[in-house]
Amino acid sequence: MWKQVELLKNHTYFSPYLIDIRFFIGYAGQISLGHAAFFGLGAYGSAIATVTFEIPPWPAMFLVATIVGLVALLIGIPILRLSGHYLAMATLGLSFVVHTILLQWDEVTGGPSGFSGIPYLSFGSFQFDDEVRLHYLLWGVTLISLLLCLNLVRSGVGRGLSALAGDEVAAAALGVNTRNAKIKIFVLSAVFASIAGSLFAHCYSFVSPDSFDIFASTDMVIMVVIGGMGSIWGSLFGAALITLLPEWMDLFETYKDFGWELCGQMASTYLWRMEYKDERPESFSDEAARKDRNSRFVKAVSFSFILFTGL
């Protein structure tokens, strides 16, 4: 039982983060390989604020999220002038820079040994210090994130982002401020990533740089793609699949590398299609139908793979 609870806990760490990064990749149509940097900044920021400066965990979490949002704003203004693979490479560089800082700044971050002694979250005398309590806390945060993002999708901002993903020029012609929209969603996704990182730090009471390297960013993108680029609920599915996949593949050691390669190929193929999609004019109904077909194809392959590994 405790192993299942632990796996569900690992799944829910990523869900709030993935729900919002889906806006940047799936709805805004941009490609980011650097959001693990914001995840790591949130985790280490909360750790340093609570242990070094003795700030209570909840205020520290929101203070760090505000700082990370400002950092994302400063970074986003120049790099969001780029698009496609150029933007992906710029965000990849950001991930490398932050990981190197976390690894080398021993006096502040603890270096390769990590940072320990992070306090658990609590409400008064009620402390989230066991697996069951953490499970309910993380799912509560996930559901709140889900409701906020569903409301955003149904708003004018969400419709503007959908238009931006379909055709940036057409969206601009319809009155969408594409540059501001991209910056805002980039900052919002960074704030959610920071909050998810803070939860990670306070629930494990330990963080290390290896948890926030480029492979973490790659895993996040794979989770987003596997769950469906335009589906909010797909975030939960993608996180569940990639979290549980290693456990399933342990039963089939021979096929473990094949499973990871399949997921990676699916993600890279889908991102390639985003970049080199057909340039012929399409009506909005044609574009919606194409996205729906792509989403159903990805989910069908994913479910087939789950069935294969579960046999």
**Residue-averaged pLDDT of the chain:** 76
What is the distance of C-alpha 269 from the center of its chain?
19
In this prediction, residues 248-263 reach a mean pLDDT of 59
Q: Which residue has the higher pLDDT, 72 or 230?
A: 72
Virtual CA dihedral for 49, 52, 55, 59, nearest 10 degrees? 10
pLDDT for res 55:
92
Q: What is the pLDDT of residues 134-176, one digit of tens each?
A: 878 888 888 888 888 878 877 777 777 777 777 778 888 878 8
Alpha carbon distance 270, 272 (integer Å): 5
Q: Is the pLDDT of residue 311 over 50?
A: no
Instruction: Give the CA angle between residues 145, 72, 80 to the nearest 5°.
Output: 105
Amino acid making up residue 238? G
Domain ranges of the chain: 2-310
Among 4, 28, 1, 17, CA closest to 238: 17
pLDDT for res 248:
65
Beta carbons of 235 and 22 less than 8 angstroms apart: yes
pLDDT for res 145:
81
Q: Is the pLDDT of residue 97 over 80?
A: yes
pLDDT for res 48:
94
pLDDT for res 45:
95
Beta carbons of 161 and 23 less than 8 angstroms apart: yes
What is the distance of C-alpha 254 from the center of its chain?
29
Among 217, 281, 219, CA closest to 245: 219
pLDDT for res 47:
94
pLDDT for res 241:
73
Query: Which of these ranges, 82-91, 211-220, 297-306, has the smallest mean pLDDT?
Result: 297-306
Share of the chain above pLDDT 70, in %: 68
2-310 domain in CATH 1.20.120?
no
pLDDT for res 260:
57
Amino acid making up residue 142? T
Q: Which residue has the higher pLDDT, 158 or 201?
A: 201
Q: Is the pLDDT of residue 251 over 80?
A: no
Residue 231 tokens read as 């589906």
pLDDT for res 294:
52
Among 143, 145, 121, 123, CA closest to 134: 121
pLDDT for res 12:
57
Buried b (16+ CB within 10 A) or exposed e, 72-100: beebbeebbeeeeeebbebbbebbeebbe
Q: What is the pLDDT of residues 7-66, one digit of tens each?
A: 445 555 666 666 667 777 777 778 788 888 999 999 999 999 999 998 999 999 999 999
In this prediction, residues 76-97 reach a mean pLDDT of 87
Q: Which residue has the higher pLDDT, 274 or 230?
A: 230
Up-side HSE of residue 1: CA atoms within 13 Å toward CB?
3
Q: What is the pLDDT of residues 260-300, one digit of tens each?
A: 566 655 655 655 555 554 444 444 445 555 555 555 544 44
Name the pLDDT band for 2 (thresholds 50, 70, 90): very low
Virtual CA dihedral for 78, 80, 85, 91, nearest 10 degrees? 70
Q: What is the pLDDT of residues 283-293, one digit of tens each?
A: 444 555 555 55
The counts of H helices and E strands in the chain are: 13, 4
Q: Which residue has the higher pLDDT, 213 or 50?
A: 50
